Amino acid sequence: MATRHDPAGTRPQAFQDLDQAAARARAVVEEWKSEQVYPFPDEPGTSIEQIERQVFDIVAVHIARHLPGFDAIQRRSKAFQLRMLRQAIETSPASLQLILDEVLRLPKPQRDELAHLLRDTSLSSIIGASRVVSERLRFIAGLEVLLFDPEPKRRLKERTQLHRIVAENCWLFGEEYSLSVDDQSLTAVLAEHRKWLGRDLVIDAPVKHVSRTRGIVDLMLSKATRSHRANGLSHLIVELKAPRVKIGSEEITQIQAYAFSVMRDPRFSMVKVNWNFWVIGDELAPYAEALAQDDTGLIYAKANVTIQVKTWAQILDENRSRLQFFLDKFDLQVDRAASLAYLRDRYADYLEGVFEVREPLAPWGGAPASCGQSDAPSHNLARGARHVDT
């Protein structure tokens, strides 16, 4: 069946069945709209929103038909229950069972019938995944403003603000990574390494830094893929630099020292593990550009150790590339104001003082502009002087 979001009628059969079921629920939905209890004030703007709306209509109408006295309850209570159902579908489709069972107390035969009606779990998976992707796109767009807009960039502090935000979003460095060490010593890195190995490893002395008494690692991320290959444990050590810091000889020496300290300590080499070291900054100084062997910023590769220099623009672009499928297939859109509102609300504790005046922003659930036409700043904004964290 052709629809506004699928003019050719090429949607998968599960989605076409959803279209038909939603059409059968339309009369009840129109009645709710006239009562002003329907929780969607606007028409769906994307394919994902259309799917969510159809799932809601099917579930809500089914509840209305089988929940005793639903039609007779007060308007305010009815509107509240429908809003609660909408929130469950949008934020966590898996929580629908709890809503139906413990909150709305739908009888078990009707719960089972509804579960059968929505047995195609791909719908819940798509809705859930789309929400994750949508939030990540907002995060990327908001982070881009922090990193490249002159005023926020000037105020953003490395350790107390940028570091804290990035530590909560390990997916920036790859989907499989989880945070192991946050702003701790190389000895803490060894202790976490031991946990991943799942074996006894005596730590009777601190890890010695090749040039200092003690080295502090910004982030250590780890992933295990042993089911796919024998050598499946990888650690990623990330050294973050504040906006406006160019990656030059000083920054490269710092990340090399971490790598060489790990290579020198035999406790790290008891088993074959991949170690990757990244230093990320605003841009590469000529010294770093001369050392980079390819577009990935590789400057060192030996045995199971690699060292790479990266820019924030590269990190953001790589993430956008990973999310491109959803952008193309499901009309996901992000605008600057919504992204800033999301970032400010989600990380308010970390961003104090970064934005001098809180300009009026559209709510992050509001109508967005096209992602391709976003007014988010370009990666090529002029860079300022080096930032000093305080």
The set of residues, in sequence order, having a beta carbon less than 8 Å from that of 119 and lying 6+ positions away, is none
Q: Which domains does the chain have, with CATH numbers?
A: 13-119 (no CATH), 158-316 (3.40.1350.10)
- The stretches of 67-156 forming alpha helices (DSSP H) are 75-91, 96-98, 108-117, 121-148, 150-155
Rg, C-alpha atoms of the chain: 25
Q: Which residues contact 220 (CB under 8 A, 6 or more apart)?
A: 179, 180, 181, 182, 184, 189, 192, 235, 236, 237, 238
Nearest Cα residue to 234 out of 272, 265, 278 = 272
Residue 233: pLDDT band (50, 70, 90) is: confident
* 3 DSSP 8-state letter: B
Higher pLDDT, 213 or 272: 272
Report the distance separating Cα 80 and Cα 91, nearest Å: 16
Question: Which residues face 223 on adjacent strands?
Answer: 234
pLDDT tens digits, residue range 67-105? 777 777 888 888 888 888 887 777 665 566 666 655 556
For residue 250, the one-letter residue type is: E
* pLDDT the model gives residue 215: 53
Pick the residue with more confidence: 337 or 373?
A: 337
Model pLDDT, residue 25 = 75
**The dihedral sign for the CA sequence 375, 376, 382, 385:** positive
- Lookup result for tokens 């956008």: 320
pLDDT tens, residue by residue, 240-278 = 888 888 999 999 998 898 888 777 766 666 567 788 899
d(CA 101, CA 112): 11
The whole-number pLDDT of residue 290 equals 95
Average pLDDT value for residue range 1-28: 58
Q: Mind giving me the DSSP string for 274-307?
A: EEEEEEEESEE-HHHHHH--STT-EEEEETTEEE
d(CA 3, CA 311): 43
Which of 71-80, 124-133, 231-240 is the most confident on average? 71-80
Q: In this predicted structure, what is the pLDDT of residue 57?
A: 83
- If you average pLDDT over every residue of the chain, what do you get? 70
Task: Please answer whether residues 203 and 191 qualify as being in contact, where contact means their C-beta atoms are separated by less than 8 angstroms.
Answer: yes
Dihedral angle, C-alpha 93, 95, 101, 103, nearest 10 °: -110
Instruction: Between 45 and 315, name the one with better pLDDT.
Output: 315
Of the given ranges (26-30, 136-140, 227-231, 322-326), which has the lowest mean pLDDT?
Answer: 227-231
What was the pLDDT predicted at 385?
Answer: 33
How do residues 188-200 score in pLDDT, each as one tens digit? 555 555 554 445 4
> How many Å apart are CA 22 and CA 381, to the nearest integer?
48
